[in-house]
Structure 1
């Protein structure tokens, strides 16, 4: 496994054959027994609760009064819970897009066979609707009501959702001012008017096909659950790491350049040298092999990059993906790799992102269309775009690599194609 951070944007790479084998095994596991997805869901939720609880402890006690040993113990418990949760969200992150695409193709084929093409959008809405609403949808519902003139306690909403921007330990929670700016810029979302219909009866689906739809909807929920737990936990874990930084006279920003094993080494008196920290502020590679982690910078990083064979997208003329929300528009592409890139988005621009997050919603409302590298019919971008009735193509894999800021592009979300004009 390879983590590459370049220009403050991080990407994860694995060998193509290993990834394909992993997906095949997940397909076999979840579609061979109807109980497997339920058991997996239960385990993921259980480990998610433990992960969140271990971080909440840091807010419930006075960390400054803890002994070094007790603080280290809290860190190790939190780290183990993170590992237990992460191995399961890795399954969701890798497979939800696959199952979404598989389900979409199934419905397209079945509607043609059964002469039900007119209902395809209703079937797609059903299979792409999570079994339970995520926090971002609940937040949007509250703000829709507030914008419509209904009485909503914004102070309570702020306290309930201030963790929303905490995608990782670098992220910071909303200040009250930032939250109110978000509310002020929020636009009311209209229902798309499409009624969700369970396709099972109309399309005469067999047991395996019905199970595929169930797995897809459960994965849609777990994908959102994964993101919510991660953000809520990060909000609380920040207090824990801030205390570590204070004790060892390190800035929080520098501590974020340490790996977890290196954080543990601080308690033995081992700090990273200033020159190593300086090097890690630039482009970095983290390689994990045989359960061992290594950070590469400078010449070691450059040598590794030369050994990796990346796909050549220089001759790509058309970008293809899944239609998540129909429509066809032309506009100026703006590439969003980091949260800081959101400020580039102006009214009518086309947002081209690796993926989207809750804090992207305001800029998604300004965009005329949304295109993502990652995701399936049940991802955040797809769900929000349908609510906003904006053209959206997801799962292109290469859009952010092929397109550049300022490109005039056409998003044909009838056929799932993005073209440079």
Structure 2
């Protein structure tokens, strides 16, 4: 990275030295207006360099210009709401961002300046992001809600997602002899930033890779995930098929991996469920069917059954394998708060499903009868299975996903309403 930053700084010096007076004046001319706020060409150049240094996937001039347009819109939206950032808030934001690179703000600014980027570029970037969070909090936060049903669905999706244990990779290893580390890293960043397809990655491997797999377009045979170095496993499992890693500098080289496919197996117990259900024995199938027709929820069953019959309702929470077969079969066809009838000799059982959830994610706060304790609490695992997030963690993930999507939509609306013009 030091060589890379030095290379950028050298390029900046050369470019500055080559520019004449007219060219320098032109550099500060407006490139685009955002609601009459000018974005200069110099700002675009500085933002582009900044994006290159922080490793943005696309650090082109057009991407830098769009980034600045969006920041203007964010700051203008904050101003319209009366949102301002205090000097302390700005300093805290800069420290937090620099901390992601393992530096303090002063150290991060020093690296930027060595790369030809002024400190003000960093401050403007952090200010726009900080005030935008306040805009999002004020305008969108009250609208974003996560239901229990959404949490249940996400938990089930996570549990039923196979655990990756085998991968098909392609590799591209670019030599980085002493003094050429910066060029190798820049080449790797261009390849990775272009989001190559499998065919494009293979072509790049044939052209630039320095290992025997280059002849095969970098393709490797199926690998067990456990055979990869421990530090590499989370990087690979974070990819979706068709994606390429960010450049990975190693001694004497820069490495890229492209994930062609991933295979896995279901975690033990992924298909097992815990059911929360109710059973009420009645004198006849007709009586059970009549009560089932008017009952709208598990709580409503106590009301519809009446005070004399309600104490006979049995509410239980149990794994599928522990439920009597006839009742389990009927429950299998029911949705939550739906009732059915199971013949039982001359009488019948009214059965109602209250909820179903994966056994691996079952929580100890499943609703239970208001009647005397019946051992329901002991039927539910006290902790989530290893690797399965808690309900609150899932709720937080879903909330962040929703709020980010809403924020992108708000920014898109601001773009649509803005007057963006060129000189």
Give me the TM-score of the superposition, normalised by structure 1. 0.26
Structure with the bigger percentage of strand: 2
Larger radius of gyration: 2
TM norm structure 2: 0.25
